[in-house]
Structures are given as structure tokens and as C-alpha cells.
Amino acid sequence: MHRLDPLLKPDSIALVGASAKPGSPGRNLAELVINSGYQGAVYPVNPGYPEILGIPCFPDLSALPQAVDHAILAVSNERLEDALREAVEHGAKAATIYSSCILENDTDPPLKQRLAQLADTAGIPICGGNGMGFYSVDHGLFAGIFPIDRTMEAGSISYIAQSGSALTALVHNGARLAFNLCVSCGNELATSVPDYMDWSLEQETTRAIALFLETVRDPVGFLGALEKALDRRVPVVVLRVGKSPLGAELAKTHTGAMAGDHAALEAVFRKYGVMEVAGLDEMAALLMLLQSARKPGPGALATIQESGGFMELVTDICHDLGIEFARISRQTRNEIARHLDPGLKADNPLDAWGTNENFEYRFYACIAALMRDPAVASGMFFANFRDGYYLSEAFFRAVRNVSEENEKPLAMVNCYSDISHPELCRKALEADIPFIDGAREALLATRHLYHYRDRSGRAPEEIVTVSDPVMTEKWRCHLAATDESHLPEATAMNMLQDFDIAVPRRFAVDSVQHALEHAQEIGYPVVLKSCAPGLYHKTEQNGVVPDIRNAEQLERCYRDMEVRLGAQSLVCEQVAPGTEIGFGMINDPQFGPFVMVSAGGTHIEILADRAVALPPVSCLETDEMLSCLKVDRLLRGIRSQPPGNRSELIGSLVKLSRLAVAMQDFIAEMDINPIIVNPRRAVAVDALFLLKQPETGD
């Protein structure tokens, strides 16, 4: 028995605050529960009524003939604490709260905290407060306070939303998504998103989990739920809202300025294969594909359009999104050509409209040929489908017939959304055919689906998590003994070198004579860098002078820097030019360290080209991160620029990710910018390590 069973599939319910007053939340609740088909015992509780909707009503919980599993508390904030205490004393094993849990002129601790303590002491889960309840569709229990104007068919999507409006947007509208659970979890007094996810993952009907996420209140539980979903191959779709970049003026490192508040979750999503969407339409489109029993096999996308204009539209969007079309065989092209009118090209994507004559069979035959091709993983038919239109009805029949003959996913997609098609939606859902409004949303969903397929089908990669233990212990002891806010650059570069990261030859100097001696030892040209305390961004203070070619130039530059920034400097080997890459780590308070790879150099923040991951990362994952960046084209060589030593860069980034894990107890942020990647080497030429500071009391 799952901890949430008394909440989401109880044997008995008390509706505390149920009402006979039309339009009231208590009346809506009673109608939903009593009329939804719930098979358990239902007890309305309200001293003002002898019965509600033909069911006997009781004055209070103590008058019930049995102790109920679940007490639904549709009462005001003022009555809430007493109501929950009475439910606990009654023996209820779960509760639902709709009220905001905020009192004017409240005492300390506030009501919300007192309710959470009551639930914790009793060990009961609570849905809410400040939520809209839940719909446990598989069990016919609709525990909400807003009416639903449509019949909800049981399905395979578990939708958990931290916003009531986001919940109703998908659940109360349309008829193309079918859910087994819908939860408005509110402020999560005693039950959080990971708890609902865990329960959903135990349900046989769950094919996908969708989250509308404002915050993560239980990071450990969240990671555990994502791990469980990954193990059970249940895809998770997340729409995260409330994302905002960190203020650049507050960030001491380039990494901090670029990361933003959402970066840690992005890294979590990458690790666990979570599909993050940007809006509700994109989420709905992806869920329509995921709820289908049909899953894409190997291969790429096939599309058929009702016109050349739509074919060009789809082709343009696929180009923007990096979606490839399946390269169909000559045999498939020949088969399609037999059915096309003159002037139409047999290929993928396909425009199959010619004349009106025998068009239904033509489209059926062309779609069937495309879907049979071994290179095709899934298909989409782009048109404008509307109820009562002979073309739309014929196209639907063609798609349905092909779907009945083929196990590959085949979707119908409207290129324009303001079309009336509720009947076609209903028939498509019954036939397990995704029916999506919006060409871009459909293709975004397809890209997500293929990424998830490719990741799920990949053999797990062994990741080395530990660096040299002797070197690790040496540096952990060093960091534990320091009371500085950051590491001097010379020390940071020594650490990188000890962890087998390529760095330039360098010498710390405090006089012009030392600078000249060591420059001679290194060999010109050299780079002169200030080591002034607290100087985080040297370039902005003219604290870095590259390409110094002789002693006279070095002496002049050193004396100028000495006057402005002090005598402490580094004389460094100048690394041959190449593509500049940035690497960073931020120690997130919820999820621990995450690493970032980006375009580097002075343009790191301007280009805002970055990828994040949880360390340690593997060579394959690092390769994928680099491939996401626009700057990767330079790494691979473009025009007259030769390719950089990408494999050495990948190895260095993997080692840096291990360093981030090994030193996470001491380092708050790492910023290595740039790593210069030329045809021979990948060399980290600048490093800034901010150290964790002791927590101080109020």
C-alpha cells in the first residue's frame, strides 16, 4: 500500500463543508464527488443540511458511522485548523485543503506552519493548501471545487501542477489528452511533487508524467522520483516557470552571470532525460505523442502535406529545429509515384494533392508507403482538419486506416489552430491518433520524442567519478586550511595542473627583475597578468597584457601595471591562438555542483552560448554538450580556421567535472575562461575559484 493511497484512492471520504447552495465551492465539490462515479462511501458533513444531493449529511465527523480514509476540508481559513485537528482525531488517513492557509493578524508560527506540523505529527498526506484539489481519474474520484463541463476519459498521463490555472488549462479544455491523475498541489503542506510522482510511477496505467513547476521544495525526493522514472522508462515532461537570470552586476564570475536561476534544474533535467518545454501548447503536443501506445522506432520523420505551401512551411520549421527527414528508399519512392498526379515529386516530405479525383485513396496509399519504409520512425500529416468538411473526414479515414495497419506513430497536425474540430478530436483519441494544433508545436514535440528515444536506447555509460585520491586529499586539506574568499590564480593554476589539466608555464613575480628573468626562461612572447587581491576580472582593469615580445616591452608593461595594480604578477607562456571555450561550476544550494560549458573569452556573456550538466560527466555527455554550442562549429574547423584539438578538450572537461565533485565541500564557484583550443592543445589560461564561506548567524 502506497502512502498516498488513502489520499488518491481512498475507500471512504468525508466532504467537510459540503453545501447545497448552487454555485458554491461546497456544492461543486459535492456534485463532482457524488456524480463522478466514485465507488467508495461518501459522507457530506455540514450541520446546516439534513442531506445533500440525496445523500444523508452529518453535523460533524464524530457523527459518521465509520472513520473515513480521506477528509476533504472545504472550509474557510478561520475554521481550517480546527477542522484538520478534528480530522486527525477522527482517524482520517489523508486530507485535502483548498483554502490559502493565510490569516489576517495571524500568530507565530503562522497557520500554514501549524497545519504542516499537525500533518507531520499525524503522519498524513495533504493535497494543498491553496490548491484546486485532484482528479484521480482511474478511481472515479474528482475532488475539486470547480465544475468540469466535459466527461474525462481515463488515460495514461499523470499531470501534477503547482498552479491551479495551469491544471485547468489542459484538463478542463479540449478532448485530446487523457489522464489517470491530475493534481493541483498548491503550497504542498505535507505532500510535494515527488510524492505524487512516486505514486504515479506505481500505477500500471501511467505512460508519462507532466509537471508544471514553479519551485522544487524537496530536492532529494525530486531526484529520487526522476531516477525512478528513468529506471522505469516513464518519460517526464516539465514546464518550469519563474525563471530569471542572476543579476550580472551581482555575479563575481562569468559562470554566475551566465547561469541563471534555472541552470541547476537544467543540469538535473539533462542527467535524468527530462523533456523541458517552453509553453502549455508545446507540453500538450508532446503529451499527445507520449500518451499513445505507439512508440517511434529507429529512423527519422516522414511528413505528408495537403499542399506545396504547407510542405515548404514544414520544411522551414524542421530546418530551424534541426529535425531530419527520413531518407526513403527508391522502392518507396516508386510506390508513391504510382499514385501521384503528374508534376508532383515522390519524396519525403511529400505534397500529395493533385486533383480531387480519388484523392482519399491516393493519400491513403502514399501515407501507407511512407510509413512502411524502414527509415521512417514516425509520421505526420499536415493540413487544416475541421469537423464536417469532406476533405478532413476523408483524410482522417486515410490516417486511421494506415494506423490500423502499422504500429508506428502517425499524427494529424493542423497548421492553424483556430479551427473547430471537437468531433475529429474525439475520434482521433479513440483511434490512438495524436491530433495536434500548430506545426511548430508538433515538430518541437517530435524533436523531444526522438531525443528521449535515443537516450533511452543508449547503453549506460560507465563514468569515472574519482580523481587521483592522493592529489584529491592534498587539495582538500589545503582548501580546508585556508580562510580566503578565493584562490590566488597561481594556486588555482597549480590545482588544475595537479588534476592533469593543461595550463601554460608560469611564474609568480614581484619585481621587474624577476619578471625579466622568468620571461627569458619561458621564451618570448609572454603574457603578463596582475595578481592584485580581489581582482576577479583582470581584462576589465587592463590587468592582462598578451603578446609581449621582448624585454623592453615587458619592463614597460610591468612598471605600468605595478603602479596601477601592484607588484604581484604572473609571467606566463603565451598559448598559440585557437577557439576559446569557457568552463564553470556553481555549487547550487539545492542540487549541489553543476558544471557549465560555453563559448569563452571576452564574448562569453555576450554570446550566452552554454550547456549545463551534473558532474561528473562522461566523454559522450561532454561531446553532446559541446555539440549544442554554436561555437562548436569553430572547434570542428570552418573556412580557413583549422579544427581544434576537440578530443583533448573533452578529456580536460571530464577531468574538470571530477575536480568539481572532489572539491564541492570547499568551492562555491569555478570559472576557467578561456580554455584555448588550437590544433595541438587545449590549455586553460585563466582560472578563478571562489571558496565557500562559513555560514553566519543572524
Lowest-confidence pick of 99-103, 122-126, 262-266: 262-266
What are 581's strand-pairing partners?
Answer: 599, 675
Characterize the bridge pairing of strands 236-240 and 208-213: parallel
Q: How far is CA 377 from CA 236, 370, 374, 406, 604, in A?
A: 21, 10, 8, 11, 38
Residue 466: how many CB atoms within 10 A of its CB?
Answer: 10
Q: Which three cell numbers stand for residue 355?
A: 486533383
The percent of residues above 90 in pLDDT, for the chain, comes to: 82
**pLDDT for 600:** 86
**What CA–CA distance (Å, rounded) separates 47 from 51?**
10
pLDDT exceeds 60 at position 125: yes
303-327 mean pLDDT: 96
- The answer to whether 545 touches 519, Cβ cutoff 8 Å, is no
**Helix, strand, or coil (residue 424):** helix
pLDDT (tens digit per residue) in 197-212: 999 999 999 999 999 9
pLDDT (tens digit per residue) in 77-117: 999 999 999 999 999 999 999 999 999 989 999 999 999 99
pLDDT exceeds 90 at position 478: yes
pLDDT exceeds 70 at position 218: yes
Confidence bin at 263 (pLDDT 50/70/90): confident
Confidence bin at 227 (pLDDT 50/70/90): very high
pLDDT exceeds 60 at position 254: no
Lowest-confidence pick of 71-75, 321-325, 460-464, 640-644: 460-464
pLDDT exceeds 90 at position 464: no
Place of cell 561528473: 616
Q: How far is CA 417 from CA 72, 289, 386, 414, in A?
A: 39, 18, 10, 6
- The answer to whether 413 touches 289, Cβ cutoff 8 Å, is no
459-465 mean pLDDT: 70
- The answer to whether 211 touches 237, Cβ cutoff 8 Å, is yes
pLDDT exceeds 50 at position 255: no
180-198 mean pLDDT: 96
pLDDT (tens digit per residue) in 521-532: 999 999 999 988
Cis peptide before 349 (omega within 30 of 0): yes
**Helix, strand, or coil (residue 649):** helix
Phi then psi dihedrals of residue 630, to 5 deg = -65, -35
pLDDT (tens digit per residue) in 10-23: 999 999 999 999 98
**Is the dihedral angle over the CA atoms 519, 523, 528, 533 positive or is it negative?**
negative
**pLDDT for 696:** 56
**pLDDT for 252:** 47
**What CA–CA distance (Å, rounded) separates 630 from 616?**
23
pLDDT (tens digit per residue) in 608-644: 688 999 999 999 999 999 999 989 998 998 877 889 9
**pLDDT for 458:** 78
pLDDT exceeds 70 at position 660: yes
**CA-angle at 536, arms to 532 and 540, nearest 5°:** 95
Task: Say which residue, 465 or 635, is predicted with more confidence.
Answer: 635
Which residues, including other chains, have CB under 8 Å from residue 423's CB and lie 6 or more apart? Answer: 387, 388
The tally of CA atoms less than 13 A away on the side-chain side of residue 527 is 20
Q: What is the identity of the amino acid at 615?
A: P
Q: Write down the pTM of the prediction.
A: 0.91
Characterize the bridge pairing of strands 610-613 and 592-599: antiparallel
**Helix, strand, or coil (residue 308):** helix
Place of cell 486515410: 398
Characterize the bridge pairing of strands 94-97 and 126-127: parallel
**What CA–CA distance (Å, rounded) separates 341 from 499?**
66
Domains and CATH numbers, the chain: 1-147 (3.40.50.720), 148-291 (3.40.50.261), 293-456 (3.40.50.261), 461-502+578-698 (3.30.470.20), 505-574 (3.30.1490.20)
**pLDDT for 175:** 84
pLDDT (tens digit per residue) in 572-611: 999 999 999 999 999 998 999 999 999 887 666 666 688 9
What are 509's strand-pairing partners?
Answer: 569
What are 55's strand-pairing partners?
Answer: 52
**pLDDT for 248:** 42
pLDDT (tens digit per residue) in 8-65: 999 999 999 999 999 899 999 999 999 888 999 999 999 999 999 999 999 999 999 9
Query: Average pLDDT over the chain, rounded to whole?
Result: 92
**What CA–CA distance (Å, rounded) separates 475 from 481?**
10
Task: Say which residue, 641 or 647, is predicted with more confidence.
Answer: 647
Residue 50: how many CB atoms within 10 A of its CB?
Answer: 10
Helices 646-662 and 619-627, packing angle to 10 deg: 110
**pLDDT for 457:** 78
pLDDT exceeds 70 at position 261: no
pLDDT exceeds 60 at position 677: yes
**pLDDT for 256:** 47
